[in-house]
Structure 1
Amino acid sequence: MRGATPRSARLVAGAAAVVLSVGLLSSCASSDDDKDTPGNAATYETGLVNIPKAGDVKKGGTLSFAGYGEPAVLDPAETIVAGSTGGLEMAAIYDVLMRWDSEANTVEPQLAESLEPNEDFTTWTLKLRDGVKFSDGTPLDSAAVKFSLDRYLRLGADEAMLWSNNVKKVSTPDPLTVEFELKTKWPTFDYMLTTGPGMVVAKSAGEGKGFKPVGAGPFTLASHAPKEKITLKANPSYWDGAPNLDAIEVVFLNDPHSTWDSFKGGNVDMAFLRDPDVVDEAVSAKSPGYMNLVSLGNVAIINGTKGHPGADPRVRKAMQLAVDAKVVMERAYDGAGVPSNETFASFSRWHTDVDSLPHDPEAAKKLVEEAKADGFDGKITHLDSSDPASKATALTIKASLEAVGFEVELDLVANIQEQIQKVAIERSYDVAGWGISWREAGPYGRMFATNHSQGNLSAGMPTSPEMDALFDAFQAAESEDDQREIMGKIQAEWNELVPALVFAPSAEFLMWSKQVHGVVDSTNSLVLLQDAWIS
């Protein structure tokens, strides 16, 4: 299964962590006749889908959830905050200061009372709710927020570099006010408080081996049996009243087909899917849930550091011209979904009319010949996992590259830990199956982290001053129209830079049974369960 690779976002923890993902969805416009067919962008709209009407709220019961990847530690400073990597559990324990409303496409207060910018978006003022307490009884005040943010940066969380490069000062003028002074104009700063930085960790939680998750969310950790399940119990002192559920039980089945079968059989109430074949089936079944679309979800990143073939831009461009995304996805997933090698495919509101690089083997051959004339030996090592879909992807890439003059050696590793070690830590690879994961809601954060020269999740991908400048312009833009215009320029620069071979975006589907109600959506495929109940 593809779910065994970093591209499918198991769990990655610590400073070397990279958000990973797998899957695909349509990059093609649809007709009215095929609007609801699998693999179609119109079917995979971001947001809540197929939500049934609910009756009177019922109190009590345990909600069972088949998670995608088990978090090693429920700490937003040590674990990537996403629905596939323990995000649901951490949101239940810590809550979030702000949340993204997919229907309104706005960031709204959650644990916070308000968040307002000054006129030029260089200072943001956060107001906290009075009387909120952590589950240990201590107050969640401005000092607690600042402590948690300082801790987040010190421990090198996945968005720590983004934060430190953009936030000049955090001050606490009174117990219920936090002021963020930025280094530059940032109209979408509020998205930062919907993820890891917006999860406030109590001082009593500690860190390292002695860490115990303590937050102000609607649930607390009851138990964690590694490789089996996590149990959360209701927090009766939650600031918005005790949750409807008594408990949440998270299990880890470690196979997408087993997860889907278990959900269909009624053995779990909720499940997270991102492998394209099972996502297609779940979408066809019109299961209720939260659909989140992730661009650059299925890629092979290129090591552009000195001493690797990818340091030569001709080699990088030749590889992308040689590989047909459609063939890759057909071989890996038996035709599930539809491929695209664009940064943002046609489903996305960030899609532009700037074309991506075409499939052009003849042009690829010429570039390879030019590089060889200057001393390139033609040799490339492709790293990926050894599960069937990853192996099929690797073999397809190998054949495509060798057809234009490359000599490709495959390095198919046995497990995710080895792949992360080679890619994110050692950077001892030429090309590697991975996921970059630019998201629909507030994409700047992930763009900066993965492909800006100051980002901490590039894993060796080439960057450029031109791309940095475009990211900075995107950050400062005040309207989506302005941002979209810049996104077209980002696609054009991507075509020149070629930091990765792009095969498809991905669909992440957090689905639940028709008996589950009151689920609230947010960013990064997170859902909030303080109002959830089972009929």
Structure 2
Amino acid sequence: MQRSVPANVPRSRRLSPLSVIVAVLLLLLAGCDSGSRAPADPFATPRSGGVLRLALSADPVSLDPFTASNYAVAYGNLLSAIYDPLVWVDPSTGSVQAHLAESFTPDATARVWTLGLRPGVVFSDGTPLDAAAVKANWQMHADPASHSAYAPAAAGLKLTILDPLHLAVELPAPNAHFNRTVANGLSYVASPRALGDPKALAVRPVGAGPFVLAEHGPGRIVLRRNASYWQPGRPYLDEIDAQVVPTDKTVPGAIADHTVDLGTVTSPLTAKEAADRHLGLVDLHLSGGLMLLFNTRRPPFDTPAARHAIADSLSAAEMDRRFAGGLGSAARGIFSDTSPLANNQLGAKDDDPQAAAAAFDMLTAGGKKPFDFTFLTVGGTSSGPPPEAVYIQQQVQRFPNVHMKIEVVDTATLIQRNVSGDFDVVLSGLWMSDPEPVLFDFLRPSSPTNISGYANQEVTDAMNDARLLVQMDARREQYTRVQVQLNKDLPFWVYQQAANAVVFEPRLTGIQPFADGVLLFDRIGLRK
């Protein structure tokens, strides 16, 4: 859900896994010229040289691979440019692709994986990127002292160096999709020489990517071509000039007035603005989307009846009409309509005022006792709270003795209260090309990203079973179990399908997004 990229994306070191959730909130709660341009072509061959102006959401406190948020709406593009990924997930196919890694394969049990690295890759300080470097990074992720946002992915790994370019990885339990876990959180590797001083690494990152940090000032970061980059003739660009987009601008608006050249958007309205301005647009095909997330740990949403009452009060189609101009797609659950894992006959129910009335009648004892809750949000305008919150309040307060308070807080407070579980219901979001590992962590009890506190053994068992399967039909069967149980329990209600897209100035080409819209910067450049 993106409009302009705001300047107050989360800065907490420990809580960066939540950056996407908060960014979703911030980007949602915001509010053409169509000059003559050459048609955009994301796949043409670039020429060498030139500067790319990259949209930034905020000044990053950290650029190390442990505590910086790696989502496109946060700092993922900076991390990709500085470090290069070991492996990445193609959102158009869901397949895992090797990059700095040459191979990453499991044994027959899916318990032991072997990582093979490309020969001749060095960090920008001249240190080889070898098996020892990957091992040192993954051990640091697992060390509580690092406060790594991605510690759960590295926890319990037994790492054995087989030779300089091969690392054996023994998992605590079999997982046929561990390569996706690496792509999601362990794919960026810093020079071992820099790991001894985490504070310095946060502001002076040392990676093996196509660019190195040259300048870091308020509202602006400059990256320059890495002279020791492993791919001859790349990167094509000389420089990346990353700039914070003002909060009163959309990314397409900032591109149109030549402030930036490229950014990731997550709103159908913003994507339409980009199309109307004749900008380049690469749509991603992700599951997840915008949702209401309930705190299942405490009243009033510790019972499915209360959660269903809210969803039955609301209409996903109406929310799309009001807040996305009818350009989005009403969600039918956690998977997109196009996902091969979706069972489209299992869409969660909504827009049933009679069912809502019956549920609230039970919850209020026939209207005799109040049903009170608070909707926690960021954003809003000088004239009042965000319109999404106002719509929800109006809908649920149609029923006798149902009261919803809207509480608008700043980003830091929202993050702290999400993590501590001090909320009733909050606007949230999730983006994923595959349920591994994002949905697994989102629903797994005790996971730091399981903000709702949801726990159901049937769901946990189904997700664990799915981890052992690679055939799509067999995986779909397990995720159908997940969808059926989620429809019963409704720990969250997804109302709009994910709508992520990369928007770019048409003179750019070589656009290859991964994850939620992060780019591979070895191949991007200016058109010939």
Question: How far is 1:324 from its partner?
Answer: 1.4
Q: Deviation digits for residues 472-529 of structure 1, max 9, x if unmatched?
A: 1222221122222222222211111111132212212222223222233322321111
- Name the counterpart of 2:283: 291
* Residue identity matched to 1:385: V
**Deviation of the 1:198 alpha carbon:** 1.0
Deviation at 1:285, TM superposition (A): 5.5
- Counterpart among 421, 426, 430 of residue 427 in structure 1: 421
Structure 1 residues 491 and 404: CA distance shift in structure 2, 3 A: farther
SS of the equivalent of 1:507 reads coil
**Correspondence for 1:78:** 67
Return the letter of the residue paired with 1:197: L
In the alignment, structure 1 residue 169 sits paired with structure 2 residue 168: no
- Residue 364 of structure 2 corresponds to 372
Distance in 2 between residues matched to 1:9 and 1:351, nearest whole Å? 35
Specify the SS of the correspondent of 1:139: coil
Which residue identity is paired with 2:493? L
Alignment match, 1:343: 334
After TM superposition, list the pairs within 5 Å mapping 1:227-376 onto structure 2: 228-241=219-232, 242-255=234-247, 257-283=249-275, 287-306=279-298, 308-352=299-343, 353-373=345-365
Residue 135 of structure 2 is matched in structure 1 by: 146
TM-score, normalised to structure 1, is 0.86
1:182 alignment partner in structure 2: 171
Residues of 2 paired with 1:356 and 1:409: CA distance? 23
Instruction: Percent identity, please.
Output: 25
Separation in 2 of the partners of 1:496 and 1:529?
43
Q: Distance in 2 between matches of 1:144 and 1:127?
A: 13
User: Is contact 1:463–1:497 with CA below 8 Å preserved after alignment?
Assistant: no
Counterpart Cα distance in 2 of 1:314 and 1:533: 53
Matches within 5 A, 1:49-198: 51=41, 54=44, 57-102=46-91, 105-154=94-143, 155-164=146-155, 168-198=157-187
Question: Normalising by the residue count of structure 2, what TM-score does the alignment of the two structures yield?
Answer: 0.87
Alpha-carbon separation, structure 2, partners of 1:4 and 1:407: 35
Distance 2:125 2:480 in 1: 49
CA distance in 2, matches of 1:50, 1:104: 22
Identify which of 393, 398, 409 aligns with 1:398. 393
SS of match in other structure, 1:85? coil
Deviations 1:327-363 (A, max 9, x none): 2333334434232252123233332122312322222
CA contact (8 A) 2:50 2:239 kept: yes
Any conservation in 1 of the 2:369–2:401 contact (CA below 8 Å)?
no
In 1, Cα distance between the equivalents of 2:369 and 2:458? 26
Is this contact kept in 1: 2:5–2:57, CA < 8 A?
no
Query: Structure 1 229/187 Cα, relative in aligned 2: closer, same or farther at 3 Å?
Result: same
Distance (Å, rounded) in 1 between the aligned partners of 2:479 and 2:272? 28
Distance 1:105 1:384, change over 3 A: closer
Q: CA deviation at 1:460?
A: 3.3
Query: What's 1:14 paired with?
Result: 13
**In angstroms, what is the RMSD of aligned CA positions?**
2.8
Instruction: Give the corresponding residue for 2:432.
Output: 439
Deviation per CA, 1:64-92, whole angstroms, max 9, x where unpaired?
11234543211221122111111111011
Q: 2:447 aligns with which of 444, 455, 461?
A: 455
In structure 2, the CA distance between the partners of 1:74 and 1:302, relative to structure 1 (3 Å rule), is same
Is the contact between residue 91 and residue 286 of structure 2 (CA under 8 Å) also seen in structure 1? Answer: no
Q: 1:2 to 1:247 in 2, by over 3 A?
A: closer
SS in 2 for 1:282: helix
1:275-313 deviation line (CA, Å, top 9, x unaligned): 33111232456643432244332112111113x311122
TM-superposed deviation, 1:54: 2.9
**Preserved CA contact (<8 Å) 2:296 2:303:** yes
State whether residues 63 and 247 of structure 1, in contact with CA within 8 Å, keep that contact through their aligned partners in structure 2. Answer: yes
Distance in 1 (CA, whole Å) between partners of 2:335 and 2:58 is 25
Alignment partner of 2:522 out of 508, 512, 530: 530
- Please give the alpha-carbon distance, in whole angstroms, between the structure 2 residues aligned to 1:520 and 1:332: 29
Relative to structure 1, the CA distance from residue 408 to residue 525 in structure 2 (aligned partners, 3 Å threshold; closer, same or farther) is: same
Does 1:208 find its partner at 2:199?
Answer: yes
Judge conservation of contact 1:309–1:315 (CA < 8 Å) in 2. Answer: yes
Distance change >3 Å, CA 470–CA 158, structure 1 → 2? farther
User: Post-superposition shift, 1:377?
Assistant: 3.8
> In structure 2, what is the equivalent of residue 381 of structure 1?
374
Q: Which amino acid aligns with 2:483?
A: Q
Tell me the distance in 1 between the aligned counterparts of 2:207 and 2:94.
Answer: 27
Q: Secondary structure at the match of 1:299?
A: strand
Whether the 8 Å CA contact 2:252–2:279 is kept in 1: the answer is no
CA distance in 2, matches of 1:5, 1:229: 14
Q: Larger deviation: 243-252 or 182-191?
A: 182-191
1:111–1:255 distance in 2 versus 1, CA, 3 Å: same
Q: 1:256 to 1:479 in 2, by over 3 A?
A: farther
Most deviating of 385-394 and 73-82: 385-394
Task: Give the distance between the partners of 1:526 and 1:146, measured in 2 at CA.
Answer: 25
SS at 1:432 equivalent: strand
Give yes or no for contact 1:448–1:454 (8 Å, CA) kept in 2. Answer: no
Please tell me whether the aligned partners of residues 382 and 394 of structure 1 are also in contact (alpha carbons under 8 angstroms).
Answer: yes
- Partners of 2:438 and 2:424 in 1: CA distance: 22
Q: Distance in 1 between matches of 2:336 and 2:91?
A: 19
Aligned 8 A contact 1:159 1:445 in 2: no
Matches of 2:350 and 2:436, distance apart in 1: 26
Other-structure match for 2:457: 465
Give SS of 1:73's match: coil
Distance (Å, rounded) in 2 between the aligned partners of 1:2 and 1:427: 25
Following superposition, the deviation at residue 52 of structure 1 comes to: 5.3
* Alignment partner, residue 473 of structure 2: 481
Residues of 1 paired with 2:127 and 2:71: CA distance?
27
Contact 2:316–2:350, Cα closer than 8 Å, also in 1: no
Q: Is the 8 A contact 2:139 2:154 kept in 1?
A: no
The alpha-carbon distance between structure 1 residues 386 and 512, as it changes in their structure 2 partners (threshold 3 A), is closer
Give the unaligned 5+ runs of structure 2. Answer: 26-38
